[in-house]
């Protein structure tokens, strides 16, 4: 595996995460127009649907001056049974310099250890989502200027969420107090659980997660209305949130289910801000993949 790959958040050292966040911050001001000295090319291989992750990677790649190719699995030799490994090896052989990959299989990247170009994981099944995690850290820092000591509640379909997994690893690493809430059937082993009202009242960050219907084995045993009342961010629960607290959600949002539709753009909501920050963070990840050193300027007032 290429050393500049990014597969899981816990494969990064704390200092490397700070460098990536700092580079992302530099891309918001001092280095807005900075681009790589190569034009790549880079390829985006999305074997699962995606709007934000796919197109914010594409936007980041174009802003960095890379030539970008998007592979559509249905028009590739995957339909003839070609493996993921042979597909990636082919991209390497024909001159691509890095790959951004999303796949529904947990830890699909374990099959790709003999690929010699950097691989950026854009989500593996219920496993990891390191770029989402970094943009979540960035969004929290932008508001609170620190992570240490913050109370974070992650609520919803924890069991199927790669975001819950990656965010938990990183938030713990930076000293946040993280708890989870939602239906029993969505609990994940080793993740601390709290009653939803308690979690919402006491948290600085309230992060809602989508029910991942595509990963459920059978139908939900609860109606949408009942789910919203029991486990969603209702208007009533919004009123219980702390004054300076924020709402996050990796999106796509099931409006009216995990969050009241009117709250998606409420004053506390950072949901669309997360998307904007995603481009900055993905620029930093790609810059690292192309072996560029972190920027030496540290111009944020964030404390770690
Ligand atoms: N966009 C996030 C992901 O790719 C969350 C979601 O799809 O619900 O994991």
Query: In order along the chain (304 residues), what is the average pLDDT of each group of 10 residues?
Result: 97 97 97 97 95 97 98 86 96 98 97 98 98 98 98 97 98 98 93 97 97 85 92 98 98 96 98 98 98 93 95
Q: Is the shortest distance between the CB of 54 and ligand 1 below 6 Å?
A: no
Q: Identify the residue whose C-alpha is closest to ligand 1 atom 4.
A: 123
Q: Is the shortest distance between the CB of 257 and ligand 1 below 6 Å?
A: no
Q: What is the rounded distance in angstroms from the CA atom of residue 178 to the CA atom of residue 203?
A: 9
- Where helices occur in 75-159 by DSSP H, the ranges are 84-93, 130-144
Query: Residue 178: what pLDDT?
Result: 98
CA dihedral 160, 281, 60, 157 (to 10 degrees): 10
Per-residue buried b or exposed e for 195-233, using 16+ beta carbons within 10 Å of the residue's own CB:
ebeebbbbbbbbbbbbbbeeeeeeeeeeeeeebbeebbb
Mutate to test the pocket of ligand 1, among 208, 252, 278 (most ligand atoms within 8 A of CB): 252
218-221 contact pairs (CB < 8 A, 24+): 221/185
CA distances to 7, 10, 120, 201, 286 from 15, in Å: 17, 12, 19, 32, 17
Could you give the strand order of the β-sheet that contains 98-103, starting from the edge strand earlier in sequence? 68-71, 42-46, 98-103, 119-124
Mutate to test the pocket of ligand 1, among 104, 120, 158, 161 (most ligand atoms within 8 A of CB): 161
Q: Is the dihedral of CA 225, 229, 235, 236 positive or negative?
A: positive
Mutate to test the pocket of ligand 1, among 133, 250, 275 (most ligand atoms within 8 A of CB): 250
Q: What is the rounded distance in angstroms from the CA atom of residue 82 to the CA atom of residue 88?
A: 10
Q: Is the shortest distance between the CB of 129 and ligand 1 below 6 Å?
A: yes
Q: Is the shortest distance between the CB of 163 and ligand 1 below 6 Å?
A: yes
Q: How many CB atoms lie within 10 A of CB 134?
A: 27
Cα 127 to averaged position of ligand 1 atoms, centre (Å) = 11
Q: Are 231 and 183 in contact (CB under 8 A)?
A: yes
Per-residue buried b or exposed e for 234-243, using 16+ beta carbons within 10 Å of the residue's own CB:
beebbeebee
Query: Residue 75: what pLDDT?
Result: 81
Which segments of the chain are extended strands (E)? 42-46, 68-71, 98-103, 119-124, 151-155, 177-181, 205-208, 246-248
The answer for residues whose C-beta is within 8 angstroms of residue 245's C-beta and 6 or more apart is 203, 204, 205, 206, 268
Q: Identify the residue whose C-alpha is closest to ligand 1 atom 8.
A: 210
Atom of ligand 1 nearest to the CA of 129: 9
Q: How many CB atoms lie within 10 A of CB 298?
A: 13
3 state DSSP class of 124:
strand
The answer for residues whose C-beta is within 8 angstroms of residue 267's C-beta and 6 or more apart is none
What pTM value is reported for the model?
Answer: 0.97
Q: What is the rounded distance in angstroms from the CA atom of residue 281 to the CA atom of residue 302?
A: 16
Query: Residue 5: what pLDDT?
Result: 98
Cα 209 to averaged position of ligand 1 atoms, centre (Å) = 8
Instruction: Classify burial at 250, counting beta carbons within 10 Å of its beta carbon; exposed 0-12, middle 13-18, buried 19 or more.
Output: buried
């Amino acid at each position: 595996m290429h050393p500049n790959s990014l597969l899981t958040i816990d494969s990064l050292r704390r200092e490397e995460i700070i460098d990536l966040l700092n580079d992302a911050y530099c891309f918001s001001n001092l280095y807005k127009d900075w681009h790589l000295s190569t034009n790549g090319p880079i390829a985006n291989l999305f074997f699962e649907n995606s709007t934000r992750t796919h197109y914010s990677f594409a936007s980041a790649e174009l802003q960095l001056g890379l030539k970008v190719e998007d592979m559509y699995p249905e028009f590739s030799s995957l339909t003839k049974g070609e493996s993921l490994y042979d597909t990636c090896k082919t991209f390497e052989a024909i001159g691509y310099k890095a790959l951004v990959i999303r796949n529904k299989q947990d830890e699909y990247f374990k099959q790709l250890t003999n690929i010699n170009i950097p691989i950026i994981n854009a989500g593996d099944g219920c496993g990891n989502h390191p770029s989402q995690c970094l943009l979540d850290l960035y969004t929290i820092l932008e508001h609170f200027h620190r992570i240490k000591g913050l109370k974070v509640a992650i609520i919803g379909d924890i069991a199927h969420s790669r975001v819950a997994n990656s965010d938990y690893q990183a938030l713990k690493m930076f000293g946040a107090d993280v708890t989870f809430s939602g239906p029993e059937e969505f609990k994940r082993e080793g993740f601390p659980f709290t009653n939803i009202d308690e979690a919402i009242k006491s948290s600085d960050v309230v992060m809602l997660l989508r029910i991942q219907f595509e990963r459920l084995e059978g139908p939900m045993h609860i109606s949408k209305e009942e789910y919203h009342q029991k486990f969603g961010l209702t208007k009533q629960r919004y009123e219980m949130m702390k004054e300076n607290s924020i709402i996050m959600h990796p999106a796509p949002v099931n409006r009216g289910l995990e969050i009241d539709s009117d709250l998606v753009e409420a004053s506390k909501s950072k949901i669309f801000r997360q998307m904007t920050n995603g481009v900055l963070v993905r620029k930093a990840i790609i810059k690292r993949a192309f072996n560029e050193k972190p920027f030496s300027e540290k111009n944020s007032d964030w404390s770690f």
